Amino acid sequence: MSKRIRKVFRSNEPYIFIIIIALGIIIQIRSGQFFTGNNIVDLLSAMIVPGLFAIAEFLALISGGIDVSFPALASLSAYATTKLLLDMGYEGNVLLAFVIAIAIGAVLGAFNGFFIGYLNLNAMIVTLGSASIFQGIMQGTLRANQLSVIPPGMKEFGTAAFITATNKINGLTSILPYTFVILVVVCIAVFFLLRYTIFGRGIYAIGGNAQSAHTAGFHVKRTKFVIYIIIGMIASASGICRVCMMQQCHPTNMLGMEMNIIAGVVLGGVALTGGAGTLTGCMLGTFLIILVQNSMILLGIPTTWSDVFVGLVIVIGVSLTALQSTRSSKGKKSVSKGEA
């Protein structure tokens, strides 16, 4: 039992969970509003788009790569889809919007995947370049501007309440939209992919050591190519979720989210070098970032200090990750010496 406990606390997840609970208690003591139904619903709603982005970035990181283009990719696919449906006068349900956006995202992701997987170029450089290309296409070719009206099906999907919660003290009511179901479905799908498929094992193997993975029989180039297609599809789905929830399409409001998303994923224990990390840690780290960003008002702290607190959380979290990695490596060395 003691070995199991030590094994659990070698990962970041318990520490992140403890920090989340501690912050929740502090906010509850300070405001009395944290553990209310509407606040929990608001936090879950705020988690939808960052959570989907985090899953996409998680796949890139554990494969030994990185993606900084996903906000631009999501913006381009969501804007192109919304504009197309408006021009068509489409009045059906939201399913067609997701299909078109995911198809666009797959193509854009394949663009990244070809250069990273088959040409073996640096993922950071490729995705930095593609982010600029995607923004250029959106703002130059499509001449993107804010769309204050969206198709009826997307509007209904964004306003339909999956869960409704009312605060009995102040009477405020919050809704959790059905876009939350998209986050849950994607989480389950990616968990199953990584846990129970050869392809998922290949992602971890490639992130750990691409040459060893190739020797073991994994098709490294093809796997990387497919990973970035999946990333593009997830990012595009999150873009449509964002448009539905906001009830309008702004071509630039998702740009710049990549740093906080990457920080949240790394905060959850996902190694920047690849090959290590869990989906649970990824989601906990991202939720912690969302919690800090959305709870400043309840603590009576001006929102202008939000970046400072997020930065502190990131530094502390990454320090914990480094500490855990150091302890783990020392433990492995001592075991090796003992066996010798």
Q: pLDDT truncated to tens, each residue of the chain (340 aa)?
A: 566 666 555 677 888 888 889 888 988 888 777 888 888 999 999 999 999 999 999 999 999 899 999 999 999 999 999 999 999 988 888 999 999 999 999 999 999 999 998 998 999 999 999 999 999 888 877 787 888 889 999 999 988 888 888 877 777 888 899 999 999 999 999 999 999 999 989 999 998 888 888 888 888 899 999 999 999 999 999 999 999 999 998 888 888 888 889 888 888 888 777 778 889 989 998 998 898 888 777 777 776 677 777 777 667 766 766 666 666 555 545 544 555 4
* Closest by Cα among 245, 96, 99 to 161: 245
| Whole-number pLDDT of residue 129 | 93
| Whole-number pLDDT of residue 324 | 61
- Do the Cβ atoms of 242 and 249 come closer than 8 Å? no
Residue 286 CA from chain centroid, whole number: 7
Q: For residue 146, give the amino acid letter.
A: Q
What the block records as the tokens of 100 is 């078109």
| Type and span of the H or E element at 188 | helix 179-196
What the block records as the tokens of 139 is 């703002």
Beta carbons within 10 angstroms of residue 258's beta carbon: 20
Whole-Å CA distances, 336 to 164, 275, 323, 333: 55, 21, 20, 5
Residue 70 CA from chain centroid, whole number: 10
Please give the model's pTM, rounded to 2 decimal places: 0.89
Taking the C-alpha atoms of residue 181 and residue 43, their distance in angstroms, rounded to an integer, is 15
Burial of 78 by CB count in 10 Å (0-12 exposed, 13-18 middle, 19+ buried)? Answer: buried
| Whole-number pLDDT of residue 31 | 79
